[in-house]
Amino acid sequence: MPPLNSLAVQLLTIATIILKININHESIETPHDQLRSAYHFIVVGSGSAGAVIANRLAENPKVNVLLLEAGGPTSVHNDIPAQASTGALFNSEYDWNYTLTPQKIGIAYQNHVIAENRGHVIGGTSSFNTMIFNRGNRRDFDRWAKEFGAQGWSYEEVLPYFMKYERNMDPLVANNGFHGTSGPVEITSWAYPPPMVQLHQRALNELNIPNTDINGANQLGTQIMQAMIDSNGRRTSTSNAYIDPNPYPHNLHILPRALVTQILFEGKTAVGVQFLRYGTEYKVFAKNEVIVSAGAINSPQLLMLSGIGPKEHLHQMNIPLVADLPVGDNYQNHVGVSANFLIKEKYYDLLSVAGQMNVPQLYDYLSSKTGPLTQQYRMGVYYNTKNNNDKQYPNTNWETGLYLYPTNLSDARAFQHEDRHAWDVFNTPSLGRYYFFVHPILQRVRSVGRIRLASNNPLYYPLIDAGFFTDPKNLDLEDMIEVTRAAFFFYERSSIAPFLEAGQPIPGCHFCPDKQYVYQCEPYIRCLIEQTGYASYHPAGTCRMGDPHRHDTVVDPQLRVKGVERLRVCDASVIPLLMNGNTNAASIMIGEKCADTIRHSHTL
């Protein structure tokens, strides 16, 4: 599905006003005359973790909480699931629009730049992402506790927090002992998957890939993935699940469009923050703690701007040192590659998925919350490569969605490719056609990168080096080649293959003339990875949690920043080792657990 066309945008805007279908998201802002000069707790960032923490702390009416968010409120554009599924929210006002420094992959993109899309909005990336509900493998969390000294974060210890926030609406999944049914975050299954999707799953089963609940007892296999979408066809974010509308307006104050530029210290004690709002600088103070929940990119940036980070780097940036810690190191992200498989037109009757976001579909959504705009179309397959010894701990996967190509080239340019003419020629035969998009993804990455400041000016974006495919033994590349070949084998040789057309090589790459199938042509697979490789929008690890005596940790298992007082980091940046899943689900869990830890430490 393409982004909204201009007519649909106008219809949506008019309908939002006339039908009053949009909650007044702007009302989330606390009036200026109600703001205080000091709060018990200041939470920086309203994302997947921050909104949770602010809500849970404010449950106590005697506790005053200030929640600061650099972005603005959400809108109906965030609420419609199909808006995210098409990538229409990327590179919009809801996106920080970060980019990576040049990597070994992404060669086809303009100026060799890979996007690192992150939510710049109330609810953070949970108001912006593709809503996939994927916690990760139980072994991930056990490794956090055993290998990194993150005591209290084993699978059995974090599972109750996953279940606490979850309200799973699918009885086939909800009652297997691994899910919650009464939390604030509603999880639903794809109500009516079309026949083509059912054929897709059956073809996987024929290859001995079983159906599974990827968040249950066994991750290995395939699932028509659940999503953070409520029963009314609306995105479930931490914004609308926890803070919008504000459940505690008396003691929870929320201030959007407030960019925190520095944590204020008295000696080694955090006492407040400084922030910019509409060009004016403000200071506000914390009686108990400052909690940084700005995400895996913004949290390390803010710590370094405030004097917490690598000593030599801060010296280069002329920032006075408060604590010498490896902030910004250990950047981890899943890396993926893109491929598309066109569906033969004679099988379109098996789709029953209207891919164009058009006036009839908008009417269905706005009037009755029905139709394809309420859904998120993803299937997932977890896969073991030969380098993986633990077969219940799969190290790769591929995600598949069922979509419709845009009908014009301008909308087809999701990424600006270096050779636009060649890519336009490549895309033209696909315009207006249905297709499976396929994203092979490396789940257990060995390569790590880092984040550093580009300037001591907080308005400058940080430098984000993902370090993709830099592991010394080159095993990440081996695994990516293998899972990509496995995906191509499935779409070329399984029982789904007769429904699909043979593809053409992407610009810059060539099929092997002596091979019948693409999966047999390793040079093409390597070229595809180099040309179209991208970041899977799951950055983590840049304020690593673990044993406080380790030299590579920034926060202890209570998420307190080492070497200072009254400062915690609670978001995906504390993840010691990137999990086999999307970071959103784990970040909400981190928010729930962090809030519990804070309440216990202050006997709230």
Annotated binding site: 121, 125, 260
| Closest C-alpha to 342, from 397, 298, 395, 402 | 402
- Pick out the residues of the known binding site for FAD: 121, 125, 260
DSSP letters for 549-562: TSTT-SB-TT-BBT
| Closest C-alpha to 44, from 321, 308, 327, 302 | 302
Tokens 């991208």 — which residue? 534
CB 574 within 8 A of CB 33: no
DSSP letters for 24-38: -GGGGSPPGGG--SE
Rg (CA), the chain: 23
Ranges of beta strands (E only) in 177-247 are 185-187, 222-224
CA distance 104 to 523: 16
| Closest C-alpha to 219, from 579, 592, 586 | 579
Distances (CA, A) of 203 to 199, 317, 340, 493: 6, 56, 18, 10
CB 15 within 8 A of CB 80: no
Tokens 């925190």 — which residue? 260
CA distance 412 to 432: 10
For 391, phi then psi, to 5°, come to -75, -10
CA distance 219 to 392: 7
CB 429 within 8 A of CB 407: no
| Closest C-alpha to 418, from 506, 352, 334, 335 | 506
Q: Helices marked H in 93-187 — which ranges?
A: 138-148, 155-165, 171-174
Cα first-last separation, the chain: 48
Known catalytic residues are 538
Distances (CA, A) of 561 to 188, 321, 556: 37, 14, 7
Exposed / middle / buried, residue 312 (Cβ in 10 Å: 0-12, 13-18, 19+): exposed
State CA 417 to chain mean position distance: 23
| Closest C-alpha to 377, from 167, 179, 189, 584 | 189
CA distance 543 to 379: 32
Q: What is the 3-state secondary structure (H, E, C) of 276-313?
A: EECCEEEEEEEEEEEEECCHHHHHHHHHHHCCEECHHH
Sequence-distant (≥ 6) Cβ neighbours of residue 476 within 8 angstroms: 335, 442, 445, 446, 447, 468, 469
CA distance 137 to 131: 18
Residue 38 Rama label (left phi>0; alpha psi -120 to 50; beta): beta
